[in-house]
Structure formats: structure tokens, C-alpha cells
Amino acid sequence: MSTFTRGHCLCGAVQLQAPLPARWVAHCHCTMCQRAHGAGVVTWAGFDEAAVQVDDAQGQLRWYASSPEARRAHCGRCGTPMLFASSRWPGELHLARALLDEALTQPPAAHVFHDTHVDWLMLGDTLPRHAATDST
């Protein structure tokens, strides 16, 4: 198994590399992720921010403040949502799991912000479900 995982946006302009293992992997159901990704749930993998390598040779990575505490990044060419950082988790950079090519060393461990889960998506797993007010 590789000691790194690599990933990229849809058009390939922005490349990512992060050392394994990830700190954690979880499914996020918050309304911000739902809107930013146009999906009912987003699976994130958390990594040490300083250890993540971003190759943006074409200058396409665009960061924006999605709330006073959080920033998100997407590819400016193809629009792929890619990264998340927040003062709630200092020193971490969250990578959208679906962008990563290699298998991670761990599967998702929980559903977070499950209190805002969409009613049109049925979950069939037995992972713990945490509300936004739960300590994470």
C-alpha cells in the first residue's frame, strides 16, 4: 500500500497529495457542504494541513470564505469542490474523499451534522450519527 494518496479535480488542473493515514474520514451532512457540492452528503478526509501538497501550476485553485470560520477551495476551471479548512479544526485540511485516487487506510467512521440530513437520501449503514451540537 502507498504511503500517500493522490487526487485531482475533474479537469486535472489542481493536483493533491497527502500522507497516509488520514486523521479521520467522515460523511458530512451540513447544509453548507450540501450547497457547496450540490449533494446530500460529502465525505471528507482530514489531514495535517502542513503535510498536504497542492500542485496548482496553472493557478486555478480558488479559495473563498463560506462562513466567518471556514474557507473552501474549488478549481476555477472545472468548478470541482476540493478543500475545506476551518478555525474549528486548526491545523487540519479536509480533502473531498471522492477526489482521491488511492484507497485510504480507513473507511468513514461516522456521519456528522446528521441533524440536517436530507430526507430524500436513505442511509443503510450502522455508523454513529452526530448532530451539529455534538462535540467533534
10-residue mean pLDDT series, the chain (136 residues) = 91 98 98 97 98 98 98 99 98 98 94 96 96 76
In the prediction, which pLDDT does 15 show?
99
Q: What pLDDT is attached to residue 96?
A: 98
Burial 64-82 (b: 16+ CB within 10 A, else e): eeeeeebebbbbbbeebbb
Q: The pTM is what?
A: 0.94
Measured CA distances, 23 to 57, 81, 89 (Å)? 27, 20, 12
Q: Partners of 84 in the beta sheet?
A: 72, 94
Confidence (pLDDT) at 3: 92
Q: What is the pLDDT of residue 119?
A: 95
Q: Where are the domains of the chain?
A: 4-116
Q: Take residue 37 and report the three cell numbers written for it.
A: 457540492
Residue 1: its pLDDT value, please?
Answer: 59
Give the pLDDT of residue 135: 58
Q: Which of 77, 43, 72 has its CA nearest to residue 60?
A: 77
CATH T-level topology, domain 4-116: 2.170.150
CA atoms 10, 44, 53, 82: torsion sign: positive
The pLDDT score that the predictor gives to residue 134 is 79
**CA separation for the pair 91, 85 (Å, rounded):** 8
